[in-house]
């Protein structure tokens, strides 16, 4: 049996073109693409957090994003999730305007719709993704209500189903996440992000700070949700072992730019860029 489709070109589910996030006005020097000092302009001190980032995410794919702290990984993720306004660039989601409309140019109302129906985000810091005083089920209900859910019974059923999928005991769904351990909070965030069956899941350092056994649980969960829900995942991680295990392809970011991209095992076993080599050689 052969299942590889014959169409030569697959359509990406998410396409990001020329994403640039700039803090500051910019000056003649840096706006004309002159070399920067790290990621900031030596003249006007404008910070270029993301600088002309291009990427494609294909259906059912996990795309890894690695890079040092401050390289713009989280800025990129948050821009895609509309948390930060972008300075320049466009992004196309297959579910939005058949992949032809730039979602950064959408109205506030449309952005809210895209955010609630088509994307899910898991932040490095659970405080950003969860309301710590609401119950775990309430957090999921918040997302369901945002997408138009009004029936208490069906929302409760959906919440318990999702929490069960991430191995949170049903007896604890009425407790607020502030009572939960870090790993549990992260798992509640994942179930919240999955609430409306998004096509794209943005995972920002989900395993950082978790002990090994909990980390294994979360990794297992990520792979399972890809299999069961068929979502495409953008996975930011510092942990190259996590990237190797999960990601199909990987991009490497440095100073706001993507400096290398390729198949994950190629990036890790045959890195081309000096920074990537340094990164891989720093592995324990």
Partner 1 sequence: MKAILKIEHLSKNFYLHEQQKLISSCRNISFELDKGSFIGIVGTSGAGKSTVLRCIYRTYLATEGHVWYNSLAYGPVDLVNADERQIINLRRAEIGYVSQFLAILPRTTAFRHVTDAALEAGFSQAEAEKRAAQMLDYFRLRRDLWGLYPATFSGGEKLRLNLAHAMVKAPRLLLLDEPTASLDPDTKLLVRDLLLKLKNEGTSMLGIFHDLEFMEGLCDRVYNLSQGSFTE
Query: Of these, 37, 127, 145, 216, which contacts partner 1 (CB under 8 A)?
Result: 216
Size of site (CB under 8 A) for partner 1 = 34
Distance set, CA 199 to CA 117, 196, 250 (Å): 9, 9, 19
Phi, psi of 239 (to 5 degrees): -90, 105
Q: Is 73 or 249 the residue whose CB approaches partner 1 more closely?
A: 249
- 174: how many CB neighbours lie within 10 A of its CB? 11
Taking the least distance from each CB to partner 1, the nearer of 4 and 108 is: 4
Residues in contact with partner 1, shown as a per-residue x/- string from 169 to 208 under the rule CB under 8 A: ----------------------------------------
Task: By CB under 8 A, tell whether 282 contacts partner 1.
Answer: no
Sheet strand arrangement including 47-57? 47-57, 14-23, 88-93
**Residue (3 or 109) nearer to partner 1, CB:** 3
283 scored as a contact of partner 1 (CB under 8 A): no
| Count of C-beta atoms within a 10 Å radius of residue 107 | 8
Q: In the 8-state DSSP scheme, what is residue 125? A: S
Nearer to partner 1, 141 or 225 (CB): 225
**Residue 131 or residue 273: which is nearer to partner 1 going by CB?**
273
Lay out the site mask for partner 1 across 253-272 (x = CB under 8 A, - = otherwise): ---------xx-xx--xx-x
Closest separation in Å from C-beta 109 to partner 1:
34
- Residue 119 β-bridge partners: 200
Q: In what order do the strands lie in the sheet with 62-67?
A: 119-122, 200-204, 232-236, 62-67, 249-254, 257-263
Torsion of CA 80, 81, 87, 88, to 10 degrees: 30
Choose which of 95, 146, 165, 245 interacts with partner 1 (CB under 8 A): 245
**Residue 84 class from Cβ within 10 Å (0-12 exposed, 13-18 middle, 19+ buried)?**
middle
- The contact pattern for partner 1, residues 59-88, with x = CB under 8 A and - = no contact, is --x---------------------------
Query: 23, 29, 58, 229: which one contacts partner 1 (CB under 8 A)?
Result: 58
**Separation between Cα atoms, residue 117 and residue 124, nearest integer Å:** 21
- The tokens describing 238, both together, are 């510092």
Cβ-proximal residues to 33 (8 Å cutoff; 6+ apart), any chain: none
Binding of partner 1 by 281 (CB under 8 A): yes
Site for partner 1 in 4-33 (CB under 8 A): 4-6, 8, 10
Among 17, 68, 248, 280, binds partner 1 (CB under 8 A): 248
Strand-pairing partners, residue 19, are 53
CB 51 within 8 A of CB 31: no
State which residue, 80 or 242, has the beta carbon closest to partner 1. Answer: 242
What residue ranges bind partner 1 (CB under 8 A)? 1-6, 8, 10, 58, 61, 212, 216-217, 219-220, 223, 227, 244-246, 248-249, 262-263, 265-266, 269-270, 272-274, 277-278, 281
């Amino acid at each position: 049996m052969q299942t590889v489709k014959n169409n030569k070109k697959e359509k990406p589910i998410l396409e990001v073109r020329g994403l640039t996030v700039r803090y500051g006005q910019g000056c003649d020097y840096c706006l004309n693409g002159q070399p920067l000092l790290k990621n900031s302009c030596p003249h006007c001190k404008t910070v270029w957090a993301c600088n002309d980032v291009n990427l494609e995410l294909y259906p059912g794919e996990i795309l890894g994003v690695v890079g040092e702290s401050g390289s713009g990984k989280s800025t990129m993720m948050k821009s895609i999730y509309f948390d930060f306004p972008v300075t320049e660039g466009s992004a196309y989601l297959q579910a939005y305007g058949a992949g032809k409309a730039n979602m950064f140019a959408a109205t506030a109302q449309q952005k809210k719709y895209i955010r609630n129906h088509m994307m899910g985000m898991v932040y490095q810091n659970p405080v950003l993704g969860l309301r710590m005083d609401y119950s775990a089920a309430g957090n999921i209900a918040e997302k369901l209500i945002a997408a138009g859910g009004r029936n208490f019974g069906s929302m409760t059923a959906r919440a318990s189903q999702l929490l069960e999928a991430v191995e949170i005991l049903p007896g604890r769904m009425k407790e607020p996440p502030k009572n939960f351990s870090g790993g549990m909070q992260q798992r509640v965030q994942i179930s919240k992000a999955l609430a409306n069956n998004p096509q794209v899941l943005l995972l920002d350092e989900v395993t950082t700070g978790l002990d090994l056994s909990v980390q294994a649980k979360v990794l297992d969960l990520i792979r399972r949700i890809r299999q069961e829900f068929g979502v495409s995942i953008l996975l930011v991680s510092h942990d190259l072992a996590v990237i190797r295990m999960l990601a199909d392809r990987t991009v490497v970011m440095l100073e706001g730019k993507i400096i290398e991209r390729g198949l994950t095992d190629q990036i890790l076993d045959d890195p081309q860029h000096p920074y990537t080599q340094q990164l891989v050689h720093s592995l324990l």
